[in-house]
Structures are given as structure tokens and as C-alpha cells.
Chains A and B, each alone.
Chain A
Amino acid sequence: KAGVTQTPRYLIKTRGQQVTLSCSPISGHRSVSWYQQTPGQGLQFLFEYFSETQRNKGNFPGRFSGRQFSNSRSEMNVSTLELGDSALYLCASSSWTEQETQYFGPGTRLLVL
């Protein structure tokens, strides 16, 4: 069974731009969670989607948004990028049948200049 995939793997943007990251969960998984990881803050929860509905949201500004499609693929968007948005963005998928164990993708490393 293929794992979680994320695209792109690396991205360089400049301040003020916007970016869209994509995540394809493990086949059969309907829940997708997004995290931001930085050296200082560790793993910070952004949001979770289940069956195209946002189920949970972390404490991030409205510049961070996401959505999930009917095939469970998910995208997150960051508008008006700031230098502090430079981070590793991780997507994790889970299945209710596996007691909600989350499996992480390889991440997208975003650098904002």
C-alpha cells in the first residue's frame, strides 16, 4: 500500500506570495491532518479534514486555509507569505479502522525569502 505523498517536496517563495501544497493520503484513509514544524515551535497542528469537512483547526491566522476533495486528497494554502512561514509542512492521514493512527508524509519544505 502506498504511503502518504506530498507535493512539492521543496519550495522557495518570496514574501507576499501565496502557496498551495498538496497531500494524497494512504488509500482508504479519509482523514487528513496538516502540521507546521519549525525548530523553535516543534510540530504545530494546522487543521484536520474528514470527508471533505474541516473537523479541527489549530491556532493559525486566516492566511492558512485548506480543503479536502471527494477522493480524500487535501490541499493547504498560505496567502501573503511571511518570513516566519518558512517551515516543514507535514501532512498525516489516518483511518478510523486503525484506531486513528496517523501516518506522516515526507513533508514540503517551504522557504520564504
Chain B
Amino acid sequence: QKEVEQNSGPLSVPEGAIASLNCTYSDRGSQSFFWYRQYSGKSPELIMFIYSNGDKEDGRFTAQLNKASQYVSLLIRDSQPSDSATYLCAPRSYNTDKLIFGTGTRLQVFP
């Protein structure tokens, strides 16, 4: 089992729709979770992070965390073509304190 699992996609959604990106992780001790966006040919940029169970909203982005299910998701409301990118989920390992990255989900938002 991979430490962090993400559907590679592509996930295709129409402009204006909600995009839902999912991530599961194996380290039960992970306490903090990060979402990064990476455009093709560019480096990852931080979108948001979440520490507590439940939802955390930041503009059009909502991160959801369920530690019991070892599941974290990112919702993007009112998706725009400029949101087309690969989204990386990264829990922080409890034992090593380092970020463990998933391979990412490629999102395509079409007009």
C-alpha cells in the first residue's frame, strides 16, 4: 500500500462546477495535511493546510479531513480553466516529521 494515494486522473469538470479531489493516507499518526497545486513545468505552490477534523474554507477552496478514515479532500468551487493543474496531497509523517507527497491528481476544467 502506498503511503499516500491519489487518483491520477485526469478529472475533467466544466467551468463553474465543483471539483472534488481525494486523498487517502496510511500513517495514522499524521497530524497535518497540505494541498499543493502544480502547473505543468512549474514548482508546487501551497494552496492550504488542515490540522483538525472537519472542513476548512479559504476562498473557493475547502479542505476536508477525516482522521478516523484517513481521508483528506479538496473541493474547488466555481472551477475555472485556470485551476487546471495537478493537485498534490501531502500529509506530514508523525514519525519522521517530513511531508509525504502523493503522485497528484490532474484536474482539467473545460470552458
Which A residues have a C-beta under 8 Å from some C-beta of B?
33, 35, 41-43, 45, 48, 55-56, 88, 90, 99-107
Contact = CB atoms under 8 A, between A and B. Distances in A.
B98 A90 contact: no
Interface in B74-109: 88, 92, 96-104
B57 interface: no
Given A43-B44, A106-B42, A107-B43, A100 B92 contact: yes
The main secondary structure of chain A at its interface with chain B is strand
A56 B92 CA distance: 13
Given A43-B88, A45-B98, A104 B44 contact: yes
Given A100-B92, A102-B34, A103-B46, A45 B102 contact: no
A25 B71 CA distance: 31
Nearest to B97: A56
6 contacts: A41-B103, A43-B101, A99-B49, A103-B46, A105-B43, A106-B43
Interface residues of B, number: 20
B32 interface: yes
Contacts of A104: 36, 43-45
Nearest to B44: A104
Contacts of A56: 96-98
Contacts of B96: 56
